[in-house]
Structures are given as C-alpha cells and as structure tokens.
C-alpha cells in the first residue's frame, strides 16, 4: 500500500505541472480576432475561391448593373446596402467593403490563421438574413424540416449549384427516385424533376432576397396544368380506384427514397481542459513508471547517510 501511494505521489508530481502548462498554452494558443477583422490577402492562399467569388453574385452584389438600376430607380435607399455590402452601419451609412466578402461568412478569423481554421457558418439562417423570402420557403419544405442547409446545394463562393444542372444535383441524394423516374412517361417526354419540383418564383429575381426559383419543392396543381390543362376527368372516372392498388408507404415523403445527406458539423476547438487532462495523464503514467527507480535511489541515499553516521 505504501509503495502504491508513493508511486501515485510521484505520478502527481509530474502530472500537475504538465497539466497546468498545457492548459495555459492551449488557452492562449488561438485567440480570435475581434469581429470585423479579416485576415489580409485571403486570395494569396485561396486564389481559386477568390476568382469564382469575384465573378459570382456575391462578389458583384454592388457592381451588378441590375442592382444599380433598381437601386437608382428607388433613389438609392441605404437599407439595400445591409445585404449588398459587408459590415454596413445603418447609423452612419458606412460599410467595410462592397459586396458580400469573406467576412460575411468567415467572421471572426483567428489571429493565427491559417494555423487555426477560420470560422465558417453553414447555417441556413445566415443566408436567410438577406435571402428572406427564399429562406421562408425553405423552412416550410422537406429540405428545411430535414435541416438540409443551403450550402449543401449551393456554392456560396460561385453562387451556383454544386452540379452541372439541378437534375443531377437532385439525383445525388434522391438516387432511388431518380432511377425509377427514368422509366416514366414524364422522362420519355424529356422532363426532369426540376420541371415539377422547382418552379419559377412569383417575384422578381433578387428583389428582397427572392430567388429565381421556388424553394418549397412541392408539386402543385398549377404545375400539372401547364401540360395537362386540357385533360379533364369525369366525376365517375375520378372515383375509380383499384382495390388491390395501395400507394407506397413512403410516397408522402419526398426525401424518404433518397440516401440522407450528412452534413459535417463545423469543427469545434478542443477545450483547454481536454489538453490539460491528456498531458496530466501522460505525466501521471510517466511518474508511476519512474517511481520504482526513484524509490530505490532514495533507499540508497538513506543507507549511505546511515552508514556515514555510524562511521567513527
């Protein structure tokens, strides 16, 4: 029992200093910059992102001729700049930069970036701060209820979808339904899922954050009537339902037939306490392993001192 106590004591002697030092280093290792500060020259390392951004809708949020025309027609209200610039101050009417820049989504940036990752938000709510109407539509959709965020389908840098066309993008999750659809009469007529599930929006593109397409992804009667307006059914025919035909159990759920898209959470910094515990355990183990040798060394020193006291 005494030996075990001695070994644990030696282990703690090594563990506590290591834990305290690692805690201090981890806590001071990656201080975040103040909100609004941006690591300079992002394009030096992210040239590809810079290129697609400056040619996309976010990079041209102010310089776009369509925005300039609509803005001037309304006598240039400063409220528009809240979404078309970065760091807009409604009190002074000033802003940090034209367009939706890196800081709009990557803020704050760690002072030791790129050693520490830059903050990145994948939340649909962030996009909804400007794309309000589209965000409201998305919230009521199956995508919104399944928390399939905007960036799963849209590239925020290029402001394009993440595929060559929308039908290909849908197929990346709804593979089972896409395979079955290829054998349907609609597919034989050259239609894709986009023709029915992603209709045109009711408002002008870009006004109050309204996208060019609807984001409810629901098929309503108006979409059917675009092609089938002349096809009328008699009341009797409409009531004819085969007794042995039952709808598939997943027919009501537009996401049930596809493989769910997994969204990796933003990396979270490890707590300094975790570093302290880890290094403390290493110190404890090292001290316990070293304790027998230290114990023998202490005994030798004591025997030597005892022998010297008995020498006349």
What's residue 272's pLDDT? 67
Task: Say if residue 173 is in the same domain as residue 219.
Answer: yes
Domain count, the chain: 3
Task: Say if residue 258 is in the same domain as residue 183.
Answer: yes
Lowest mean pLDDT among 2-6, 109-113, 135-139: 2-6
The answer to whether the CB of 63 falls within 8 A of the CB of 98 is yes
pLDDT band at 39 (very low <50, low <70, confident <90, very high): very low
- Any domain includes 53: yes
- Give the DSSP letter of residue 131: -
pLDDT band at 258 (very low <50, low <70, confident <90, very high): very low
Lowest mean pLDDT among 6-10, 101-105, 132-136, 193-197: 6-10
- Any domain includes 248: no
What's the CA dihedral at 201, 205, 211, 213 to 10 degrees? 40
Q: What percent of the chain has pLDDT over 70?
A: 66
Q: Which residues contact 284 (CB under 8 A, 6 or more apart)?
A: 8, 11, 12, 14, 15
List, for residues 187-223, the tens digit of each pLDDT value.
898 888 888 888 776 655 555 566 777 888 888 888 8
- Any domain includes 281: yes
φ/ψ of residue 160, rounded to 5: -130, 170
List, for residues 87-102, the tens digit of each pLDDT value.
999 989 899 999 999 8
Please report the beta strands in 57-123, taking only residues with DSSP state E, as ranges in sequence order.
85-86, 97-98
Closest Cα partner for 206 from 71, 297, 114? 71
- Any domain includes 6: no
- Any domain includes 104: yes
Identify the top-confidence range among 12-21, 33-42, 89-98. Answer: 89-98
Task: Say if residue 260 is in the same domain as residue 154.
Answer: yes
Structural domain harbouring 175: 121-231+254-266
**Cβ neighbour number for residue 195 with a 10 Å cutoff:** 17
What's residue 60's pLDDT? 93
Q: From the centroid of its chain, how far is CA 240? A: 48
Task: Say if residue 143 is in the same domain as residue 104.
Answer: no
Task: Say if residue 141 is in the same domain as residue 259.
Answer: yes
Average pLDDT, rounded, for the chain: 76
- Give the DSSP letter of residue 97: E
R_g of the chain computed on alpha carbons: 32
pLDDT band at 264 (very low <50, low <70, confident <90, very high): very low
What's residue 150's pLDDT? 92
Task: Say if residue 287 is in the same domain as residue 261.
Answer: no
Is residue 19 over pLDDT 50?
yes
Task: Say if residue 258 is in the same domain as residue 127.
Answer: yes
Size (the chain), residues: 312
Task: Say if residue 157 is in the same domain as residue 262.
Answer: yes
Task: Say if residue 105 is in the same domain as residue 137.
Answer: no
What's residue 270's pLDDT? 55
DSSP for 42-63, written as a single string = GGGT-HHHHHHHHTSTTTTTTT
Residue burial 109-135, b: 16+ Cβ < 10 Å; e: rest? bbeebeebebbebbebebbbebbebbb
Task: Say if residue 81 is in the same domain as residue 187.
Answer: no
What's residue 7's pLDDT? 65
- Any domain includes 184: yes
pTM above 0.95, yes or no: no
The answer to whether the CB of 141 falls within 8 A of the CB of 199 is no
The answer to whether the CB of 263 falls within 8 A of the CB of 149 is yes
- Any domain includes 143: yes
Task: Say if residue 107 is in the same domain as residue 149.
Answer: no
- Any domain includes 127: yes
Task: Say if residue 149 is in the same domain as residue 260.
Answer: yes
């Amino acid at each position: 029992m005494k030996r075990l106590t001695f070994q644990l004591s030696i282990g703690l002697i090594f563990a506590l200093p290591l834990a305290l030092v690692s805690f201090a280093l981890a806590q001071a290792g990656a201080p975040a910059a103040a909100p609004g500060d941006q690591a300079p020259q992002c394009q030096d390392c992210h040239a590809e992102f810079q290129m697609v951004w400056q040619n996309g809708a976010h990079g041209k949020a102010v310089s776009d001729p369509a925005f300039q025309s609509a803005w001037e027609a309304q006598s240039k209200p400063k409220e528009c700049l809240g979404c078309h610039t970065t760091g807009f101050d409604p009190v002074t009417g000033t802003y940090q930069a034209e367009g939706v820049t890196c800081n709009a989504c990557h803020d704050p940036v760690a002072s030791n970036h790129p050693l520490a990752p830059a903050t990145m938000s994948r939340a649909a709510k962030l996009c909804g701060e400007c794309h309000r109407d589209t965000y409201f539509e998305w919230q009521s959709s199956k995508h919104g209820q399944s928390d399939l965020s905007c960036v799963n389908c849209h590239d925020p840098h290029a402001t394009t979808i993440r595929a060559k066309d929308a039908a290909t993008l849908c197929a990346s999750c709804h593979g089972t339904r896409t395979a079955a659809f290829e054998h349907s009469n609609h597919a034989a007529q050259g239609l894709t899922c986009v023709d029915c599930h992603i209709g045109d929006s009711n408002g002008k593109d870009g006004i109050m954050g309204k996208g060019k397409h609807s984001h409810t992804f629901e098929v309503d009667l108006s979409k059917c009537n675009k092609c089938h307006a002349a096809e009328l059914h008699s009341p009797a025919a409409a009531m004819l339902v085969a007794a042995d035909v039952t709808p598939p159990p997943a027919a009501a759920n537009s996401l049930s037939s596809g493989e769910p898209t997994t969204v990796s959470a933003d990396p979270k910094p490890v707590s300094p306490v975790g570093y302290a515990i880890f290094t403390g355990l290493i110190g404890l183990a090292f001290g316990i392993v070293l304790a027998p040798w230290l114990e023998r060394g202490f005994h030798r020193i004591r025997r030597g001192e005892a022998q010297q006291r008995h020498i006349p």
